[in-house]
Structure 1
Amino acid sequence: MDLKQLQAFVHVAELGSFTRAATILDTTQPALSRQVRQLEVELHQHLLVRNGRGVALTEAGQRLLAHAQGILQQVERATDDLESLRGTPGGQFNIGLTPSVAKIATVEMIRRFRASFPAATITVNEALSSYLVEWLMMGRIDAAVMYDTADTPMIDKRGLFAEELFLIGSSEAARTAARRAPGAVQLKDIGQYPLVIPGRMHAIRHIVETRAAELGVKLSIALEVDAVSSILDLVSEGYGYAVLPLNATSSDPLKRQFTVERLTHPTLFSQLVVATSALHPVSHLASRAIAMIEHDVLPLYTEPRRVT
Structure 2
Amino acid sequence: MDIRQLQYFVEVVNQKSFTKAAGTLHVSQPSISKMIKALEEELGIVLLDRTERKMELTDGGQLVYEHAVKMLQLIDSLSSSIGEIRGMERGRVKLGMMPTVGSFLLPNVIALFKKRYPGIDIEMKEYSAKLLEVQVEQGSIDAGLTVLPADTDQFTAVPLVAEELVAIAHRDHWLAERESVNLAELKEEAFILFTEEYAIHDVVKKACQLSGFEPKVAYMSSLWDFVGEMVATELGISLVPRSIVRRLNNSELVTVKISKPAIDWQYALIYRKDRYLSHAARAFIAFARQHLSP
Contact persistence 1:185–1:261 (CA under 8 A): yes
TM-superposed CA distance for 1:150, in Å, is 4.6
Quick one: which of 216, 228, 233 aligns to 2:224? 228
Contact persistence 1:84–1:284 (CA under 8 A): no
The 3 A distance-change label for structure 1 pair 162 and 106 is closer
CA distance in 1, matches of 2:237, 2:280: 42
2:226 counterpart SS class: helix
TM-superposed CA distance for 1:85, in Å, is 4.5
Q: Structure 1 counterpart of 2:282, which letter?
A: S
Question: Rg bigger for which structure?
Answer: 2
CA distance in 1, matches of 2:281, 2:153: 21
Give the match for residue 116 of structure 1.
Answer: 116
Give the match for residue 153 of structure 1.
Answer: 153
Give the match for residue 96 of structure 1.
Answer: 96
Number of positions where the alignment pairs a residue of Structure 1 with one of Structure 2: 216
Give the match for residue 126 of structure 2.
Answer: 126
TM-superposed CA distance for 1:80, in Å, is 11
2:121 counterpart SS class: strand
The 3 A distance-change label for structure 1 pair 247 and 180 is closer
Unaligned runs of 5+ in 2: 1-78
Give the match for residue 278 of structure 1.
Answer: 273
TM-score between the two structures when normalised by the length of structure 2: 0.66
CA distance in 1, matches of 2:288, 2:219: 34
Q: Structure 2 counterpart of 1:183, which letter?
A: E
Q: Deviations over 1:74-123 (max 9, x none)?
A: xxxxx999454453341211111122322224443442233222222111
1:160 counterpart SS class: strand
Q: Does 1:294 align with 2:283?
A: no
CA distance in 1, matches of 2:80, 2:105: 25
Give the match for residue 39 of structure 1.
Answer: none
1:56-75 equivalence runs, <5 A: none
Unaligned runs of 5+ in 1: 1-78, 303-308
2:103 counterpart SS class: helix
CA distance in 2, matches of 1:80, 1:220: 61
1:99 counterpart SS class: coil
The 3 A distance-change label for structure 1 pair 146 and 121 is same
TM-score between the two structures when normalised by the length of structure 1: 0.63
The 3 A distance-change label for structure 1 pair 226 and 83 is farther
The 3 A distance-change label for structure 1 pair 80 and 217 is farther
TM-superposed CA distance for 1:185, in Å, is 1.9
1:251 counterpart SS class: helix
Q: Structure 2 counterpart of 1:90, which letter?
A: R
Q: Does 1:269 align with 2:264?
A: yes
Q: Determine what percentage of the aligned residue pairs are the same residue.
A: 20
